[in-house]
């Protein structure tokens, strides 16, 4: 079967699985959102009777007597219309609006940080792998320490050193609150200033994986015949490194991009929490803390869609740049 068709098919199945999982979770879990919210209401001294209960059930979209299949059909129809329900924690804002406000922050932060760490890691890995067995190479085990460091702990340490002690960069938030969000120079500069530390956290903790993978591929690529030929032709070392070795050794790194993306997104959720960054991760936690189930599910769905979409793009790109993948399938 055609490589591209097969990939598209796989991601359709994955998409369906994610949607269904999202539908199943609240129905399989022991807790009942309505009970949790009613208990909270009672704690605050509210009156709870059958009517309150009914209104909560209607608000949350649960508690219907419809058969599960028609609930599922309803759920899919609503999704197709982009209707994710109402976020009760910021009533009456629709979930899609809350997500829309937070998403650009996370996409910018995670996107730029991932790209930076990919380029830096692959670049350094190529240089280290170019000369295996030198002193540079002995630095490689140090990257395993970086990979094992919990994202959020690294974030805490960075905040402690750079913000609390040296007072170089702000530790909290996404921009200076006195400014008006918009496309003006002041605001953008402030956003960059506030985003530096979170981005640094992501770059430092994800760079090791890229470096190691690229270095190992580089070492095996260097013994290829075409490298020998290039040397024999008298090409400059820099040209062999960039045009002959790194180009081929980099392919698995691009394929590995897919898997690592999931980890980066997960890591950045906790990182956002440390920095109170106004992104999707902080919103997810607020939703959990406020028992805002519709918002939780909506955010999970958006994150999953983003990761699936990015993976799909990378897979397609891989099929274009490496013809061998197409030939094999």
Partner 1 sequence: MTNLTPTTEPTVADNSAGLVESRRETGAKPRGGLRQLLPTMTPALVIGFSIVTAITLFGIFGPMFVQDPSTVRNIGMTPPSGDHVLGTTQTGQDVLAQLAYATRGSLQIGLIVGVLATLLSAFFGILGAYLGGFADEAFSLFSNVMLVIPGLPLVIVISGFVPQEQRGLWTIAVVLAITGWAASARVLRAQTLSLRNRDYVAAARVAGERSWRVIAVEILPNLLPVIASQFVFAVIFAILSEAGLAFLGLGASNSTTLGTMLFYAQNGFALQLKAWWWFVPPGLIIALFGCGLSLINFSIDEIINPKLRNVRAHAKLTRARGKAAK
Q: In the window 31-50, what residues touch partner 1 (CB under 8 A)?
A: 31, 33, 36
228 forms beta bridges with none
For partner 1, the closer of residues 105 and 152 by Cβ is: 152
Q: 3-state secondary structure string, 179-195? A: CCCCCCHHHHHHHHHHH
- Give yes or no for residue 255 binding partner 1 (CB under 8 A): yes
What character string, x for contact with partner 1 (CB under 8 A) and - otherwise, covers 180-219? ------------------------------------xx-x
Distance CA 274, CA 282 (A): 9
Residue with tokens 């028992």: 291
The residue range among 97-105, 111-119, 185-193, 299-307 that interacts with partner 1, by the rule CB under 8 A, is 299-307
Least distance in angstroms from the C-beta of 140 to partner 1: 10
For partner 1, the closer of residues 48 and 259 by Cβ is: 259
For partner 1, the closer of residues 95 and 265 by Cβ is: 265
- Give yes or no for residue 304 binding partner 1 (CB under 8 A): yes
Least distance in angstroms from the C-beta of 183 to partner 1: 30
For partner 1, the closer of residues 76 and 255 by Cβ is: 255
Least distance in angstroms from the C-beta of 267 to partner 1: 8
What character string, x for contact with partner 1 (CB under 8 A) and - otherwise, covers 259-298? x--x--xxx-xx--xx---------xx-xxx-x-x--xx-
For partner 1, the closer of residues 179 and 227 by Cβ is: 227
* Nearest CA-CA partner of 210 in 292, 120, 329: 120
Least distance in angstroms from the C-beta of 222 to partner 1: 7
For partner 1, the closer of residues 112 and 270 by Cβ is: 270
Q: 3-state secondary structure string, the chain? A: CCHHHHHHHHHHHHHHHHHHHHHHHHHHCCCCHHHHHHHHHHHCCCCCCHHHHHHHHHHHCCCCCCCHHHHHHHHHHHHHCCCCCECHHHCCCEHHHHHHHHHHHHHHHHHHHHHHHHHHHHHHHHHHHHCCCCCCHHHHHHHHHHHHCCHHHHHHHHHHHHHHHCCCCCCCCCCCCCCCCCCCHHHHHHHHHHHHHHHHHHHHHHHHHHHHHHHHHHHHHCCCHHHHHHHHCCCCHHHHHHHHHHHHHCHHHHHHHHHHHHHHHHHHHHHHHHHCCCCHHHHHHHHHHCCCHHHHHHHHHHHHHHHHHHHHHHHHHHHHHCHHHHHHC
Distance CA 26, CA 205 (A): 33
Residue 121 corresponds to which tokens in the numbers above? 């890691």
- Give yes or no for residue 25 binding partner 1 (CB under 8 A): yes
Distance CA 234, CA 236 (A): 6
- Give yes or no for residue 75 binding partner 1 (CB under 8 A): no
For partner 1, the closer of residues 2 and 153 by Cβ is: 153
Least distance in angstroms from the C-beta of 106 to partner 1: 12
For partner 1, the closer of residues 64 and 329 by Cβ is: 329
Residue from 86, 98, 214, 299 binding partner 1 (CB under 8 A) = 299
The residue range among 48-56, 186-194, 232-240, 319-327 that interacts with partner 1, by the rule CB under 8 A, is 319-327
Q: In the window 112-171, what residues touch partner 1 (CB under 8 A)?
A: 132-134, 137, 141, 144-145, 147-154, 156-157, 159-160, 164-165, 171
For partner 1, the closer of residues 104 and 323 by Cβ is: 323
Least distance in angstroms from the C-beta of 161 to partner 1: 10
């Amino acid at each position: 079967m055609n490589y591209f068709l097969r990939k598209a098919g796989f991601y359709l199945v994955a998409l369906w699985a994610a949607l269904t999982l999202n539908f199943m979770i609240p129905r399989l879990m022991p807790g009942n959102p309505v009970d949790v919210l009613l208990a909270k209401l009672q704690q605050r001294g509210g009156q709870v009777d059958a009517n309150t209960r009914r209104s909560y059930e209607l608000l949350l979209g649960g508690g219907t007597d419809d058969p599960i299949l028609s609930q599922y059909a309803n759920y899919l129809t609503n999704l197709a219309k982009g209707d994710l329900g109402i976020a009760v924690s910021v009533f009456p804002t629709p979930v899609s609006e809350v997500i829309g406000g937070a998403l650009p922050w996370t996409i910018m932060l995670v996107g730029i940080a991932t790209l930076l760490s990919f380029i830096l890691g692959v670049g350094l890995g190529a240089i280290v792998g170019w000369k295996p067995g030198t002193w540079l190479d002995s630095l490689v085990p140090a990257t395993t320490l970086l990979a094992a460091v919990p994202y959020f702990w690294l974030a805490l340490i960075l905040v402690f050193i750079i913000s609390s002690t040296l007072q170089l960069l702000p530790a909290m938030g996404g921009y200076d609150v006195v400014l008006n969000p918009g496309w003006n120079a002041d605001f953008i500069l402030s956003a960059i200033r506030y985003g530096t530390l979170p981005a640094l956290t992501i770059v430092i903790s994800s760079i090791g994986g890229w470096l190691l993978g690229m270095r190992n591929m580089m070492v095996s690529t260097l013994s290829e015949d075409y490298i020998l030929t290039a040397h024999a032709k008298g090409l400059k070392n820099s040209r062999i490194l960039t045009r002959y070795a790194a180009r081929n050794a980099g392919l698995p790194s691009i394929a590995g991009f897919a898997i690592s993306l999931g980890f980066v997104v997960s890591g950045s959720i906790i990182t956002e929490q440390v920095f109170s960054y106004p992104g999707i991760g902080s919103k997810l936690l607020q939703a959990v803390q406020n028992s805002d189930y519709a918002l939780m599910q909506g955010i999970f769905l958006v994150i999953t869609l983003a990761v699936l979409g990015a993976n799909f793009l990378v897979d397609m790109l891989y099929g274009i740049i490496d013809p061998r993948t197409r030939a094999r399938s």
